[in-house]
Homo-oligomer: A and B are copies of this chain.
Amino acid sequence: MRKVDVAVIGGSAAGIAAAVTCGRHYPDKSILLITKDRQVPIPCGIPYIFGTIGDPAKNVMLDAGHKKPGMTILGDEVQEIDRDKRVMTTAGGEEISYERLILATGSKPIIPPIPGVEKDNVFAVHKNVPHLGKMLERVNASSRIVVVGGGFIGVEFADECRKGRDVKISIVEMLPKCLMLAFDDELCDVAEEILRKNGIEILAPDKVVEFVGDDAVTGVRLESGKEIPTDMVILGIGASANTELAERAGLETGPTHGIRVNRYMQTGDKNIFACGDCAEKFSFFDGMPSKLKLASEATREARIAGANLFSTRRMNRGVIGTFSTVVDGTAFGLAGLSARGAERKGYDIAVGEAEAPNRHPGSMPGMAALRVKLVFERGTGIVIGGQIMGARSGGELINTISTCIHEKMTADDIALFPMGTHPALTASPVMYQLTNAAEMAIKAIRSS
């Protein structure tokens, strides 16, 4: 029987970050990372395989053939956990005893129970290199593609699949606009406009009621009665926590069906931790269950779990939810709550917006406009959300906003935020979008 101090199940973002964090905090402990797939794709990079990158093999974060410093990697699948004995058994027939165990088993794409979903050429986005290779072959062979779901994954797939191909792409979205679960309307509108300009058809609000065809899909029938012929379907409608192993081991799950954890990322078994897509989450704002599944959030939870294994050192303050995407070169990002999301949670809000070139003067090369929208709780003036749209530098600016939210900064605090500016890197200090968006909300906050 193999004996290890720490076993981590799962080789994606959460598993790797948990193992690395454990290694940093407890350098004397032996760490075994167990991953089912020999090669683990970078999750957020998956859509880019289909355009910008062009090859699933170029989007790999963990290769079980490589040795990582401080950890041993085992390409195998854990089948049972005997919690009393602290022993796991694997598909490969190994018995492994552990002191502490981290479950980072991730998520599985949701396969909607729509008639015909089992047909050939209907693809869910499994995080699996050979599967992604087959999907890419099919994309290359298709002259029509239907993407089901207009969230991040759907939009990124549509935008990437069109690149360098003569293909007609349609997105089918249940909500009135694409990306509506993330952004406020005006950002969704800009994103949709860019997609349409690139020849992508958006069918929203509408939904698929049937995948038609014999063995292989040849079209989708929509609730509106439309029928769209297609050579393939990509399902981009989200993911659900992969909790099979945890449930077999008798661990409890929570209201969003993730593995139930406390604020230290500990499951009901004090020797077993869970983090990432497989773990139950709660909102930073109101403590309510959160369904958000993000690789960045997964690593954040992994840094808590990994540090707490042998001594409680870090507490989870909940999910703020910070993410970004790019549609044909234009960046979109959200941290915390959109105006719509805040109102849905019952907040009385004040909004401030500012737009400026991300260079100064605007004649500096590489200039692109960058817009910031901030959402404040009106009574306290505390920032609860921010959105960016435009220049790629917004991909880091959204992280400054995320920090402001995390620290519960007020509009006055942000207006006095000590930014650094440079002609070739940012907006001018007079026009700096973050400070100015905060200033634009002050009047509404003071009048509350």
A21-B439 contact given A298-B429, A422-B326, CB 8 Å threshold: yes
Name the residue of chain B whose CB is nearest to the CB of A295.
B429
In the complex the two chains form, is A42's CB within 8 Å of B395's CB?
no
A420-B361 contact given A396-B396, A397-B396, CB 8 Å threshold: no
- In this complex, the member of A325, A333, A366, A422 whose beta carbon has the largest number of chain B beta carbons within 10 angstroms is A422
Please provide the chain A residues from 126 to 172 with a CB less than 8 Å away from any CB of chain B in the complex.
Answer: none
Please provide the chain A residues from 316 to 375 with a CB less than 8 Å away from any CB of chain B in the complex.
Answer: 316-317, 319-326, 331, 333-335, 360-361, 363-366
When each residue 384-420 of chain A gets 1 if its CB lies under 8 Å from chain B and 0 otherwise, what string results?
0000000011111111101111110100110111111
Interface of A is mostly: mixed
Whether A300 sits at the interface, judged by CB under 8 Å, is yes
Report the minimum CB–CB distance from A153 to chain B (whole Å). 13
Pick the residue among B297, B366, B421, B442 that contacts A295 (CB under 8 A): B421
Pick the residue among B16, B320, B425 that contacts A326 (CB under 8 A): B425
In the complex the two chains form, is A423's CB within 8 Å of B393's CB?
no
Report the minimum CB–CB distance from A158 to chain B (whole Å). 15
A395-B422 contact given A303-B439, A364-B53, A442-B25, CB 8 Å threshold: yes
In the complex the two chains form, is B430's CB within 8 Å of A13's CB?
yes
Number of copies: 2
In the complex the two chains form, is A303's CB within 8 Å of B42's CB?
no
In the complex the two chains form, is A418's CB within 8 Å of B297's CB?
yes
In the complex the two chains form, is A416's CB within 8 Å of B296's CB?
no
Q: For A432, what are the chain B residues with a Cβ–Cβ distance below 8 Å?
A: 296, 299
In the complex the two chains form, is B25's CB within 8 Å of A324's CB?
no
Whether A36 sits at the interface, judged by CB under 8 Å, is no
In the complex the two chains form, is A420's CB within 8 Å of B363's CB?
no
CA distance A435 to B412 in the complex (A): 27
- In this complex, the member of A13, A44, A58, A366 whose beta carbon has the largest number of chain B beta carbons within 10 angstroms is A44
Q: For A363, what are the chain B residues with a Cβ–Cβ distance below 8 Å?
A: 53, 58-59
Name the residue of chain B whose CB is nearest to the CB of A415.
B303
Pick the residue among B365, B406, B425 that contacts A418 (CB under 8 A): B406
Whether A48 sits at the interface, judged by CB under 8 Å, is yes
Whether A29 sits at the interface, judged by CB under 8 Å, is no
In the complex the two chains form, is B24's CB within 8 Å of A442's CB?
yes
Name the residue of chain B whose CB is nearest to the CB of A413.
B406
Interface size on A, residues (CB 8 A): 91
Whether A86 sits at the interface, judged by CB under 8 Å, is no
Q: For A307, what are the chain B residues with a Cβ–Cβ distance below 8 Å?
A: 412, 415
In the complex the two chains form, is A333's CB within 8 Å of B439's CB?
no
Whether A304 sits at the interface, judged by CB under 8 Å, is yes
Whether A20 sits at the interface, judged by CB under 8 Å, is yes
When each residue 279-323 of chain A gets 1 if its CB lies under 8 Å from chain B and 0 otherwise, what string results?
000001000000000111111100110010000011011011111
Whether A17 sits at the interface, judged by CB under 8 Å, is yes
In the complex the two chains form, is B335's CB within 8 Å of A418's CB?
yes
Q: For A296, what are the chain B residues with a Cβ–Cβ distance below 8 Å?
A: 418-421, 429, 432
In the complex the two chains form, is B428's CB within 8 Å of A61's CB?
yes
Q: For A21, what are the chain B residues with a Cβ–Cβ distance below 8 Å?
A: 439
CA distance A297 to B420 in the complex (A): 8
Q: For A61, what are the chain B residues with a Cβ–Cβ distance below 8 Å?
A: 361, 428, 430
Report the minimum CB–CB distance from A369 to chain B (whole Å). 15
In the complex the two chains form, is B424's CB within 8 Å of A16's CB?
no
Q: For A416, what are the chain B residues with a Cβ–Cβ distance below 8 Å?
A: 300, 303-304, 314, 316-317
Q: For A396, what are the chain B residues with a Cβ–Cβ distance below 8 Å?
A: 393-397, 399-400, 425-426
6 contacts between A and B (CB under 8 A): A13-B428, A24-B440, A300-B417, A303-B416, A395-B422, A399-B420
Known: A13-B429, A317-B416. 15 other contacts (CB 8 A): A42-B360, A44-B360, A44-B422, A44-B429, A48-B424, A52-B424, A53-B361, A297-B418, A300-B435, A303-B439, A326-B422, A333-B422, A392-B425, A396-B397, A396-B400
